[in-house]
Structure 1
Amino acid sequence: MTINLPKGKKIYFSSDNHLGAPTMEESRPRERIFLQWLEMARKDAQAIFLMGDLFDFWFEYKTVVPKGFVRTLGKLAEMRDEGIEIYFFVGNHDLWMNGYFEEELGIPVYHDPKVFTIDDKKFFLGHGDGLGPGDNGYKRMKKVFRGKFFQWLFRWGHPDIGMKIAQYMSVKNKLISGDDDHVFLGEENEWLAAYAKRKLETAHYDYFVFGHRHLPMTIQVGENSTYYNIGDWIAHYTYGVYDENGFKLEEFLKK
Structure 2
Amino acid sequence: MQLPIGKKVYFSSDNHLGAPTPELSKPRELKFIAWLEEVKQDAAAIFLLGDLFDFWFEYKHVVPKGFVRVLGKLAEIRDSGIPIYFFVGNHDLWMDDYFEKELNIPVYHKPQEFTFNKKKFLIGHGDGLGPGDKGYKRMKKVFTNPFSKWLYRWLHPDIGVALAQHLSVKNKLISGDDDAKFLGEENEWLAQYAKRKLETTHYDFFIFGHRHLPMNIKVGENSTYFNLGDWINYYTYGVFDGENFEVKKFKN
TM-score by length of 2: 0.99
User: Which residue is equivalent to 2:119?
Assistant: 121
Cα distance in 1 between the residues matched to 2:188 and 2:243: 27
User: Which residue is equivalent to 1:61?
Assistant: 59
After TM superposition, which residue ranges in structure 1, 4 or more long, deviate above 3 angstroms?
none
From 17, 23, 26, the equivalent of 2:24 is 26
State the 1:123 CA deviation: 0.2
- Which blocks of at least 5 consecutive residues in structure 1 are unaligned? none
- Which blocks of at least 5 consecutive residues in structure 2 are unaligned? none
State the 1:175 CA deviation: 1.5
State the 1:179 CA deviation: 5.2
Residues 9-55 of structure 1: per-residue CA shift (max 9 Å, x gap): 00000000000000000000000000000000110001000000000
Q: Please tell me the residue identity of whatever aligns with 1:168.
A: H
Aligned pairs, number: 252
Q: Could you say if the C-alpha distance between residues 197 and 243 of structure 1 is closer, same or farther in structure 2, counting changes exceeding 3 Å? A: same
Q: Please tell me the residue identity of whatever aligns with 2:30.
A: R
Secondary structure at 1:141's aligned position in 2? helix
User: Which residue is equivalent to 2:43?
Assistant: 45
Residues 110-141 of structure 1: per-residue CA shift (max 9 Å, x gap): 00111111120110001000001110000000
- Contact 2:117–2:242, Cα closer than 8 Å, also in 1: no
RMSD over aligned Cα atoms: 0.7
From 223, 233, 236, the equivalent of 1:235 is 233
User: Which residue is equivalent to 1:191?
Assistant: 189
State the 1:4 CA deviation: 2.3
User: Which residue is equivalent to 1:76?
Assistant: 74
State the 1:63 CA deviation: 0.4
User: Which residue is equivalent to 1:111?
Assistant: 109
- Contact 1:231–1:239, Cα closer than 8 Å, also in 2: yes
Secondary structure at 2:203's aligned position in 1? coil
Cα distance in 2 between the residues matched to 1:238 and 1:97: 24
Query: 2:189 aligned with 1:201, yes or no?
Result: no
User: Which residue is equivalent to 2:96?
Assistant: 98
TM-score by length of 1: 0.98
Which deviates more from structure 2 when the two are superposed, residues 177-186 or residues 213-222? 177-186
Over the matched positions of the two proteins, sequence identity in percent amounts to 73
